[in-house]
Structure 1
Amino acid sequence: MEHNKYDIIGDIHGHADALIELLEKLGYSETETGYSHPERKVIFLGDFIDRGEHLAQHRKLLGVVMKMVKNGHAKAIMGNHEFNALAYHTEVNGEPLRPHTDKNTKQHRAFLNEYDNDPEAKAEVLDFFYTLPMWLDLGALRVVHACWHSELIEQLEHKINGARLTRELVVEASTKGTELYHAVETLLKGVEVSLPKGVTFLDKSGHPRTDVRVQWWNRAASKLGEIALPLGVDIGEAAAQPVRGNIPYYPEDSVPCFVGHYWLKGTPAPQAHNVACLDYSVAASEGDRQLVAYRFSGEKNLSKDNYVSVRPA
C-alpha cells in the first residue's frame, strides 16, 4: 500500500530559510541524508527557483530539496519555473528555446546570480529538474503544479515516460501549436480563457494580459468574474459573461488534489473539499507572505485545520 502521510509544500521561490523553519515546525530533523521525519514524507509542488533576488538562497534551498528527494524523504514535481529554466538553458541551432529577453532574464535573475558562474553546479540542478514528473497520482492523492486535467494527463501517459520531460520533449513543449505545448501550458500554468477584445489586466509582475486563468475547481460559478484568477482581478465588462463550457472541472468524487502556482492571499483553506492550493505568495514583495504546507493523512475531505505555515523574515 502506498504510504499516505505527506506534508505537501507549496511554491518556495528561493526561500531556503523559510523552508527550513517550516520543516522544523512540521517535526523534520536534519540528518546525514537530509531533513527527515520518522512517519511522514514531503511532497514539493515545484517552483523552487526565481524571484527572491535579495535572498541569495537558491543554492541552499536546492541543496535541501535535492538531498531530501535523492534519499527518499520527499517527492517533488515540476513547476512552470523549472520548465522555464530548462527552456532558457537549452539551445537549438544556437538559439535558446526561451528567449533571453529582458523580461525572461529578469524573472530568472535570482537563479542566474547564484549559478551562472558555476556551470557544473548549474548542470547538476538542471539534470535534477529533468527528473521531476509533471504530476503524481499516488492513489490517495494527486499533485500537479497548476491544473489536474485528466484528459491531457491520460494522453501524455502514453507519450511521456513517468510524466518526465526529456530534452527533445522540452523542445516540443516550447513550440507553440504542438499538443505538448498546450498540455504543459495547462498542467504547469493553468487553464486560461480569452477576454473580449480590448479588455486587459495587469498581472503581478505588471505585464498586461488578454487571457485570464480560471478556477477549475469551482463548479458553482456561473459568471466569468466569479471564476477568474487571481481572486479579485478586475476584468471589466467580461466579469458578467457566462462561464464557458470547456473548463476541465475536477470531479467531486475524485481523491484530493494539491496544486501551487496561484499566489493566494489570506488564511489558508481548501478551495473545494478535494482541492487545495498551497501557494500563498511567499515571494511577494509586500503584504501577507506565507510558505504553506498541508498535513495529509489519507482523508477524503480536506480541512483548514491541517495547514501549517511560516512567514519569511
Structure 2
Amino acid sequence: MPQHYDIIGDVHGHADELVRLLLELGYQRHGQGFRHADRMVLFVGDLIDRGPSISDVIRIARSMVDAGDARVVMGNHEFNAIAFHTAVPGTENQWYREHSEKNRKQHQATLDQLPTRELVDAVAWFRTLPVALELDGLRVVHAAWIEAGIGVISSSLDKFGQFTPAFLTEALRTGSGLHTAVEDVLKGPELTLPAGHKIVDKSGHVRNTVRMKWYEPPAGRTYRGYHFGSDDVPDLAIDPSTVEGLVGYPVDAPPVLVGHYWLTGTPVPLSVNVACTDYSVAKNGKLVAYRWDGETALSAQKFHWVGKG
C-alpha cells in the first residue's frame, strides 16, 4: 500500500497559515511540529523569504522532518540562500549569489528575521535537502520534473559534495550542464520570447524569457499559450529551435506535484498527472495542499487550502 501524502505548496514564511492548514488536514501538535496518524507532509520548497514568520516555518518543517513526519525538497529560494551565504574561496566579500539590491530585496525578510546563528544553521540544513523525491509512485520537485536534469544534479552532488563551493562554482557557470539542470529543475525551463518582445514579471523586472508549461508538448503552440503568466506575451507560433528536445511530461509517468508558479484562483490539476500547489500565499493568496492516496490520475477534489487572515 502506498503511503498517504499531503503535498504542501510554497509557504514563504507564513507560519499561521501553515498551522491552520495542518490542523484542518487532521494533524496534531507533536513537539515543535505536527503529526498525523497515517499521513506524511511533503513540502515542495520555498519555506523562506517574504513572509512574517520564517523562523517558525523552518522550526515546524525541520521538526517534522526530524520526527519522520515530513520531507522537504529544495526550492529555488533555499538554493539561492545557500549561494547568497557561501563565500567564494580565496576572495573577499564575494559570494556565489551576488549581494545586489535585487537579490538582497528577495532575501530581506529572512535576513531581517533570523539571527546570525539561526541563519547559519538554517543554511546548513538547506544543504541537506534533496532536489526531488520519488516515493511510492509519487514524484515531488519544486519547479519541473526534468529527468535528465535531476540526473545531472544527482551525479554532480556525488562528484562535488552536497552544495559545496565546488558544486556552486559549476552550478552557477552559465552554459554548464549543471547550470541548465539547476535552472530547469528548481526554477522551471524558460522560453525566450521573439526578438523585440519583453514582459514585466510579478516582481517588476523586465524580462525576455517566460516560464513555460514544461509538462505539455510545445509543438504547434504559441508563446502566449505555452507559458505561465502575462497576457503581454505575443500570440505568435513558437520557434521550434527554441524548444528542441522538449516533449512534455508523459501521461503514463508517475504523478508529479510542484510549487513555484504563483497560481491564482481555484486549484485544479495542470494535467492528468501534474499539479501545482503554489497558490500565492505570499501575495494574499492561498496556502494549498494536495492529499495524495495512491491515485495515478490527479483530482481537483483532492486540493485543500486556507486563505490569508
Query: TM-score under structure 1 normalisation?
Result: 0.91
| Residue 33 of structure 1: how far off its partner (Å) | 5.8
Task: Report the secondary structure of 1:42's partner residue.
Answer: strand
**Is 1:222–1:242's contact at 8 Å kept on the other side of the alignment?**
no
- 8 Å contact from structure 1 (residues 87, 174) kept in 2: no
1:267-308 Cα deviation digits (max 9, x unpaired):
001000100011001111x5xx00000000110000000000
Task: Tell me what 2:156 maps to.
Answer: 159
Contact 1:22 1:309 in 2 (8 A): yes
Using the TM superposition, give the Cα deviation of residue 248 of structure 1 relative to its aligned residue in structure 2, in angstroms: 4.6
Please say which of residues 156-165 and 15-24 is displaced more in the overlay. 156-165
Query: Is it true that 1:307 corresponds to 2:303 in the alignment?
Result: yes
Q: Tell which deviates more after alignment, 15-24 or 86-95.
A: 86-95
Are the counterparts in 2 of residues 134 and 164 from structure 1 also a CA contact under 8 Å? no
Distance 2:25 2:158 in 1: 33
Which of 87, 92, 99 matches 1:91? 87
What residue is the counterpart of 2:45 in the other structure?
A: 46
- Residue 73 (structure 1) aligned to one of 69, 73, 83: 69
Q: What are the residue-to-residue correspondences of 1:117-266 with 2, within 5 Å? A: 118-161=115-158, 164-219=162-217, 222-230=221-229, 232-236=230-234, 239-241=236-238, 244-266=243-265
Partner of residue 15, structure 1: 14
Offset, 1:181: 1.1
1:219 positional shift: 3.3
Amino acid corresponding to residue 120 of structure 1 in structure 2: R
2:292 match = 296
Aligned-pair identity in percent equals 42
Question: C-alpha deviations, 1:56-103, integer Å up to 9, x for none?
Answer: x11111111110111110000000000000111111112011111111
2:272 is aligned to: 273
- Aligned pair count reads 302
Distance 1:74 1:248 in 2: 32
Matched position secondary structure for 2:282: coil
Matched position secondary structure for 1:310 = strand
Return the letter of the residue paired with 1:290.
K
Offset of residue 311 of structure 1: 0.3
Q: 1:18 to 1:120 in 2, by over 3 A?
A: same
Aligned to 1:112: 111
Counterparts of 2:306 and 2:170 in 1: how far apart (Å)? 38
Aligned equivalent of 1:64: 60
Gaps of 5+ in 2: none
Whole-Å separation in 1 of the counterparts to 2:239 and 2:58: 43
Deviation at 1:19, TM superposition (A): 0.3
* In structure 2, C-alpha distance between the alignment counterparts of 1:164 and 1:277, rounded to whole Å: 27
C-alpha distance in 2 between matches for 1:202 and 1:167 = 33
Pairwise CA distance, 1:180: 1.1
The alpha-carbon deviation at position 175 of structure 1 amounts to: 2.3
Contact 1:36 1:73 (C-alpha < 8 Å) held by counterparts: yes
Q: Structure 2 CA distance, aligned partners of 1:139 and 1:154?
A: 19
Structure 1 residues 17 and 298, CA gap change in structure 2 (3 angstroms): same
Question: Structure 2 vs 1, CA of residues 177 and 240 (structure 1 numbering), >3 Å: closer, same or farther?
Answer: closer
Instruction: Write the distance in 1 (CA, Å) between the matches of 2:16 and 2:280.
Output: 15
* 1:249 Cα deviation from its structure 2 partner: 1.0
Instruction: Provide Cα deviations, 1:8-44, integer angstroms capped at 9, x if missing partner.
Output: 0000111000000000000000012620000000000
Give deviations 1:181-216, integer Å, cap 9, x for gaps: 111011000011111121000010010011111101
Aligned residue in 1 for 2:31: 32
Question: Does the 8 Å contact 1:282/1:290 carry over to 2?
Answer: yes
* Offset at residue 171 of structure 1 (A): 3.0
Secondary structure in structure 1 of the residue aligned to 2:127: helix
Please tell me whether the aligned partners of residues 132 and 139 of structure 2 are also in contact (alpha carbons under 8 angstroms).
yes
Superposed displacement of residue 178, structure 1: 1.9
Cα 1:110–1:179 shift into 2, 3 Å? same
| Displacement of 1:109 | 0.7
Unaligned segments of structure 1, at least 5 residues? none
